[in-house]
Amino acid sequence: MNKKRVYIAGHRGMVGSAIYRQLSEREDIELVVRSREQLNLLDTRAVNEFFASEQLDEIYLAAAKVGGIMANNTYPSDFIYENMMMENNIIHAAHSFNVQKLLFLGSSCIYPKFAEQPIKESELLQGTLEPTNEPYAIAKIAGIKLCESYNRQYGRDYRSVMPTNLYGQNDNFHLHNSHVIPALLRRFHDAVYRNDKTVVVWGSGKPMREFLHVDDMAAASIHVMELDDEVWQEQTNPMLSHVNVGTGEDCTIRELADTIAKVVGFQGEIKFDPSKPDGTPRKLLDVSRLRKLGWHHEIALEQGLILTYRWFLDNQHQFRGE
């Protein structure tokens, strides 16, 4: 049996590692991976040399520089430069070395701050972005347009998936540079450990967010990558080659904090700090196209939080001293 040689860029990250775990169970696939030490994706020459030495059939582009509101506000140049360089290098090398199939992982922050809810794929570039993560969003939009452009000009099959807020195993639990779920899980965990009576949560608690477990995201990514061309083309076109990935359900940050407190076992008071930024008021994806393509999420939020907290407890030695 001829195995497909599949390269996962970013296989140590949260999404990339989940895709790696699921594809590693397949007998028809030979996975190709490189660590950051082995291959610097910001180095164009190194990326081209890697592609020249490997006969790749498919690419999952899951490599990215990611972070929460504070990280995006503090390091805007890093976020736009590094993400655009990685995308440019990998997508162009894929074309140059005749890799026909590629899946680019974007982000729901590509959509306008005040997009009509739930957000359809057609909302892209229809309004102003959320200022706190605009550089990152622009980099991800550029990745989508790169894929669309190679499809239009060269007939490539480069698809893009736009996940909602992700969480789960291998998430970043850094005290200052993490997203809302790992940040709150760690904050509530530390409060229980120290026997604190109060936990302070950034913002008003009113914004609404949608959350998807990373194992569901990996399953959706593989599903989209492996869809027959006819099925994919029915739901997309050369100017709209991205599809939303989410649950189609959301909750307030206050509800999320209450659920995390329950999962962790915190029984004290939860206070909200409205002097801190809320970000986008609501961000719920319209996932009707993905459902027409035959995929639906399986992991409910509380179940996913329990799984994530168990993983944190098993790996918390990694986060000490931050």
Specify whether 60 is catalytic.
no
209 marked as part of a ligand binding site: yes
DSSP secondary structure letter of residue 2: P
Q: Which residue is associated with the tokens 């040689």?
A: 5
Task: For residue 28, count CB atoms less than 10 angstroms from its CB and return exposed for 0-12, middle for 13-18, buried for 19 or more.
Answer: exposed
53 marked as part of a ligand binding site: no
Contact 229, 183 (CB under 8 A): no
106 marked as part of a ligand binding site: yes
186 marked as part of a ligand binding site: no
Question: Which residues make Cβ contacts (< 8 Å) with residue 162, sequence separation at least 6?
Answer: 106, 107, 108, 110, 121, 144, 242, 243, 244, 245, 285
Point out the catalytic residue in the list 20, 60, 136, 150: 136
44 marked as part of a ligand binding site: no
Closest CA to 105 of 26, 36, 19, 170: 19
Question: Which residues make Cβ contacts (< 8 Å) with residue 222, sequence separation at least 6?
Answer: 19, 22, 23
DSSP secondary structure letter of residue 166: E
280 marked as part of a ligand binding site: no
73 marked as part of a ligand binding site: no
179 marked as part of a ligand binding site: yes
105 marked as part of a ligand binding site: yes
**Tokens found for residue 108:** 């729901």
Closest CA to 63 of 14, 29, 110, 96: 14
178 marked as part of a ligand binding site: no
CA torsion, ordered 143, 301, 297, 312, to nearest 10 deg: 70
DSSP 3-state of 242: strand
175 marked as part of a ligand binding site: no
Give the amino acid at 183.
Answer: A
Strands 198-202 and 101-105: unpaired
317 marked as part of a ligand binding site: no
232 marked as part of a ligand binding site: no
Q: How many Å apart are CA 28 and CA 32, to the nearest integer? A: 13
**Tokens found for residue 297:** 């999420």
Q: How many Å apart are CA 184 and CA 191, to the nearest integer? A: 10
11 marked as part of a ligand binding site: yes
189 marked as part of a ligand binding site: no
122 marked as part of a ligand binding site: no
Give the amino acid at 168.
Answer: G
205 marked as part of a ligand binding site: no
| Binding site feature residues for substrate | 187, 202, 209, 278
Binding residues for NADP(+): 10-16, 105-108, 140, 163-166, 179
Q: Which amino acids are annotated catalytic?
A: 136
Mark the binding-site residues, compressed into ranges. Answer: 10-16, 105-108, 140, 163-166, 179, 187, 202, 209, 278
